[in-house]
Structure 1
Amino acid sequence: MTVVIVPCVASSFLEKTILDFFGEKAFLWSGPPREAFEKLWEDADLFVCIGSLGIVVRLIAPFLKDKKEDPGILCVPGSGDFVIPLCGGHEKGVNALALRLARFLKAREVLTTASEAFGVFTPRELAERLGCALEGDRECEKAILGLLARGDRVPLFVDDPFPLLPFPGYDTRPLTGPLPQTCLVLSERLFPETSALFLRPKTLAVGLGFRKACNTERLVACIRDFLESQGFALASLGELVSISRKAEDLALLAEKLGVQSVLVDEDVLRDIPAPSPSPCAEKHLGLPGVAEPVLLARGYTLLAPKTVYPEVALALGRKPWSRRGNLLLVSLGDGANTITLEALEALEEAEVILGYRAYLDLLPPRFRGRALHRFSQMKQEVERAKEALRLARCGSIVALVSGGDVGVFGAVSPALEMAQEEGIPFRVVPGVSAVSSAAALFGSPLVKGFAVVSLSDYLTPWEEIQRNLERLAGTDLTVSVYNIVGRGKEEKIAFLRETFARARGQDLPVGIARKGGQKRVVRLCDLRPEDLDMSCLLLIPPRGVQSLGDVLIVSRGYRW
């Protein structure tokens, strides 16, 4: 891949940083920007232009011909704040590259292609994620992209033995019966009568025994004919397997076919019975066979028995197909102003998103198409965690989301315990918690230390919550009260008000923060149950707090 970095404005820092990202495959153009396109348009794979979008558009416009032939174009403004794909978003993989470069620059990607607006994956992106080759009718691919752009669902048929993984924008179902005209198919098999688009997993392995005199071109022709005659696609071929003494010839053959070569030691084969014994292999190698035994030695499933061509024997096997899923526990903040770059990157990585319905509503619009509304009601935390782990176990990259910070009264605990028990990889993405956002509205209520308490007695007995409130009331900590549930609210607020009034005084100013930045300061004695609910957070500062209008100032002890 040849990458040309074209500075349209001077920015030595950006130039060096982008060069570091691409490494040896990139070089910095030092002449007039227009000359870079004049001289290198036909040879470059990607131009990364540093400058304003308008300048870059005017520079490249005369050279554009066809999206299949034109190089990819990325624009990075001189500020370095954005990475904008202009050409080759899907065809050249420039959208995916833009995401990685944006992370490297701590910038924001600006993706304007239609599929990104719905948070769905194009067939090419799916192929990359699944490690498959994409094969089939170009017109079918265009029709699929059209369906995705309109927000319609595309049939995705999955052949045995591959798992039914959910993907946004696709209706995943088992492959049975005839295929419709426009669909995507995950299969190793050939379907000559259809114009469908295929995802070809690299799971097929051909075991072969051959004489040294058999040239590479002939071996390639035999393998092509063998796979076609068995009804399997060459694009799903991932490995060629033979004995160690064939290492040099096998490597040349594998390079010709673009697959891996795998060698099996002959001593291993002596104890493996050949389903179709070979007198020739027995006579010259002292082995019961080669083509089938090398596949069995690798633990592969035999799909087709040995077929003998002049000077070569071939057998077909399947490697185990496993895609390692993982779990992302993602904090959304308030879903708008306080969602972090790390959270956006995690959502981009995820293929399905689970969460409580109120948290799914916080997702940025482009990710809402990835939301699975399964077990999304209150009190379904355990079922939701189990579903997330089930999907990850099958091979999906799953995000389990929560507002604020997922570790502060979020559903992180059951999911982490299950993931740890099952050995499923996980990552916790921190976020801006509700207490931090609320404190920012009121000034400096947390500077002397704070505690967070949930009033929900769904999992914690009310008696235990009472004891915690009594202990905290006697401290100098600001107490942040979450989850002011409706059940028994009058009793709970009365207890809280009386407990803190005894310790801190009934005229203590307290803050009530709501979603959207609404706030109010009231005296503790005026706190009423009807003023509080699940969508707000209550801040109870220590004695000595200064109330200046709707600002709460807790002194840290500095003197000036």
Structure 2
Amino acid sequence: MIGLFAATEAGRRDLVELGPFLGSDTVVPDGPVRPALHRLWPRLEAAVIFLGPSSAVRLVAPLLRDKRSDPGVVCVAGEFVVSLGADALAERIADVLGRTAVLSSEGEDGPLDELIELLDATADGDLAGCSAALAAGEHVLLVNPLGFPLPALPDTVLSHGEADWKIVIDDRLPAATRADHEVRLVPRTLVVGVGSGSGVSTSAVASALAELEAGGLDLRAVRAFATADRKAGEQGILEAVEDWGFWHGDTSAPLLTFSAEVLAAVPVPNPSSSVDSLVGTASVAEAAALRGAADLACGGPVELAAQKVKGDNVTVAAARVLPRGRLALIGLGPGSADQRTPQADAELRRAAFVVGSADSVDQVRHLLRPGTGIHTHGAVELASSGLAVAWIASGAGPDAPPAGRDVETVRVPGVAAS
């Protein structure tokens, strides 16, 4: 989502002109800039602020956490559009408004940085060394056992064989100590279900979570916790979730809650009649984990990653949101670049394959990563096999039927001709 923030009348006029060219995933909040920016910041991919750079920096400085999670910022002031980490967007805005783009001094992220951002992953290992190896054209082995759909990568990135460097994408702990030339990316795929008796201690919940880690799961992969709604105020659970965030890089994960009726409808491998008689559902930990994962998967597949583990007055389990193919249905508008949205450009960059007519592909060829496969048909089949696919067409985009449960479908319409 791109947020547009204007504090002056001139800025609001520019905002009205700019908004239609940035696509439907653009929000223009009402009211003063500061509270609106603070409210929307965690959900933004980019913030466009119609103020000078010094004023914009003072606004965003208290919100900054790290390069990978912070939105890019673009300042529009006078005749200049200044990029603070969002060069491509700044160039687009400058084209639309007829201004001069001032780009940040940082170079573009390399493939490894982009993978980390794309997967919303925690990274271990010598990132600088691995990035340098990629930039130098050295062979790098990529291990992706869960099958995340990845963008086109340099042809020196191997899926099998031997190489001096290795990148592993997994939410499980390695069986052996990480090697010096190995980088691990840990995507946030897990939902941990928690069931407990009344008055459970924080340490008991933390110890149970540690058992999941002892069983091979990397708890940095936790995306959410889940429990029965009657446990929403259980202090031991709340404090353990807060402690987890503190020990994992100040990461936050929501605590999802479900009624006993909802949990009772979830099939689980280890139902308990005694739990059923007490709370009205035969499972809390496993059922909450699976239901929470299903909600986050938005119809995609999930699985139980760890069956329930019993602790002192507490039970925990973990479910995994499984990766699936990605199909972006992209509209190119009437044809000119300023009628293609920034989201469309981003989806083209994250695709391993682009499907479309020769004319459509020619319009966007300069945006594609080296090695991107180009096809004239078969988009749904490619995505169904677990790949990241961009299906492009002029106007609003391809008119495609639903691709099925194993494909995440994203629609990116083109900007209508004025």
Which residue of 312, 315, 324 corresponds with 1:313? 315
Cα separation, 1, equivalents of 2:280 and 2:60: 55
Q: Tell me, what secondary structure is at the counterpart of 1:166?
A: coil
Cα separation, 2, equivalents of 1:266 and 1:254: 21
Which residue of 111, 120, 124 corresponds with 1:136? 124
Cα separation, 1, equivalents of 2:218 and 2:88: 27
Q: Which amino acid in the other structure matches residue 390 of structure 1?
A: E
Q: How does 1:454-465 map to 2 (within 5 A)?
A: none
Q: How does 1:221-260 map to 2 (within 5 A)?
A: 221-223=207-209, 225-249=210-234, 250=237, 253-256=240-243, 257=245, 258-260=252-254
Cα separation, 2, equivalents of 1:153 and 1:95: 29
Q: Which amino acid in the other structure matches residue 343 of structure 1?
A: R
Q: Which amino acid in the other structure matches residue 240 of structure 1?
A: F
> Shift of residue 308 of structure 1?
1.9
2:398 corresponds in structure 1 to 416
Cα separation, 1, equivalents of 2:156 and 2:99: 33
Cα separation, 2, equivalents of 1:315 and 1:122: 34
Which residue of 373, 381, 385 corresponds with 2:377? 385
Which residue of 151, 171, 189 corresponds with 1:188? 171
> Shift of residue 79 of structure 1?
0.8
> Shift of residue 349 of structure 1?
3.5
Q: Tell me, what secondary structure is at the counterpart of 2:339?
A: helix
1:115 aligned to 2:108? yes
1:404-450 alpha-carbon deviations (Å, 9 max, x no partner): xx47xxxx9xx935x24748555564799xxxxxxxxxxxxxxxxxx
> Shift of residue 328 of structure 1?
1.6
Q: Tell me, what secondary structure is at the counterpart of 2:150?
A: coil
> Shift of residue 183 of structure 1?
4.0
Cα separation, 2, equivalents of 1:311 and 1:399: 51
Cα separation, 1, equivalents of 2:383 and 2:115: 17
1:197 aligned to 2:179? no
8 Å contact from structure 1 (residues 354, 371) kept in 2: no
Q: How does 1:335-484 map to 2 (within 5 A)?
A: 339-343=336-340, 345=342, 346-350=344-348, 351-352=350-351, 353-354=354-355, 363=364, 365=366, 367-370=367-370, 372-375=372-375, 384-386=376-378, 388-393=379-384, 394=386, 396=388, 398=390, 400=392, 406=394, 416=398, 419-420=400-401, 422=403, 426-427=411-412, 429=414
Q: Tell me, what secondary structure is at the counterpart of 2:121?
A: strand
> Shift of residue 264 of structure 1?
3.1
> Shift of residue 83 of structure 1?
3.3
Q: Which amino acid in the other structure matches residue 184 of structure 1?
A: I
Cα separation, 1, equivalents of 2:264 and 2:412: 46
Change beyond 3 A, Cα 1:368–1:205: closer
Q: How does 1:96-175 map to 2 (within 5 A)?
A: 98=90, 110=103, 113-115=106-108, 122-130=111-119, 132-137=120-125, 139-140=126-127, 142-147=128-133, 149=135, 155-160=141-146, 162-169=147-154
1:451 corresponds in structure 2 to none
Cα separation, 2, equivalents of 1:358 and 1:152: 35
1:206 corresponds in structure 2 to 192
Cα separation, 2, equivalents of 1:296 and 1:227: 15
8 Å contact from structure 1 (residues 326, 426) kept in 2: yes
Q: Which has the higher contact order (CA 8 A, sep 6+)?
A: 2
> Shift of residue 150 of structure 1?
5.2
Q: Tell me, what secondary structure is at the counterpart of 2:225?
A: strand
Q: Which amino acid in the other structure matches residue 347 of structure 2?
A: E
Q: Which amino acid in the other structure matches residue 345 of structure 2?
A: L
1:263 corresponds in structure 2 to 257
> Shift of residue 143 of structure 1?
2.9
8 Å contact from structure 1 (residues 188, 236) kept in 2: yes
8 Å contact from structure 2 (residues 92, 338) kept in 1: no
RMSD: 5.1
Give TM-score scaled by structure 2 length: 0.63
Cα separation, 2, equivalents of 1:42 and 1:303: 39
Q: Which amino acid in the other structure matches residue 124 of structure 2?
A: G
8 Å contact from structure 2 (residues 194, 317) kept in 1: yes
Identity %: 22
Q: Which amino acid in the other structure matches residue 263 of structure 1?
A: T
Q: Tell me, what secondary structure is at the counterpart of 1:416?
A: coil
Change beyond 3 A, Cα 1:204–1:267: same
Cα separation, 2, equivalents of 1:217 and 1:29: 48
Give TM-score scaled by structure 1 length: 0.49
- The worse-fitting range, judged by mean Cα deviation, of 14-23 and 307-316 is 14-23
Structure 1: which 5+ runs fail to align?
47-65, 334-338, 376-383, 433-560
Q: Tell me, what secondary structure is at the counterpart of 2:151?
A: coil
Cα separation, 2, equivalents of 1:105 and 1:360: 26
Cα separation, 2, equivalents of 1:201 and 1:397: 20
Change beyond 3 A, Cα 1:425–1:362: closer
Cα separation, 2, equivalents of 1:152 and 1:221: 43
Change beyond 3 A, Cα 1:67–1:289: closer
Structure possessing the higher radius of gyration over alpha carbons: 1
Q: Which amino acid in the other structure matches residue 129 of structure 1?
A: L
1:191-219 alpha-carbon deviations (Å, 9 max, x no partner): 24245334433321222222332233542
Cα separation, 2, equivalents of 1:430 and 1:282: 54
Q: Which amino acid in the other structure matches residue 200 of structure 1?
A: V
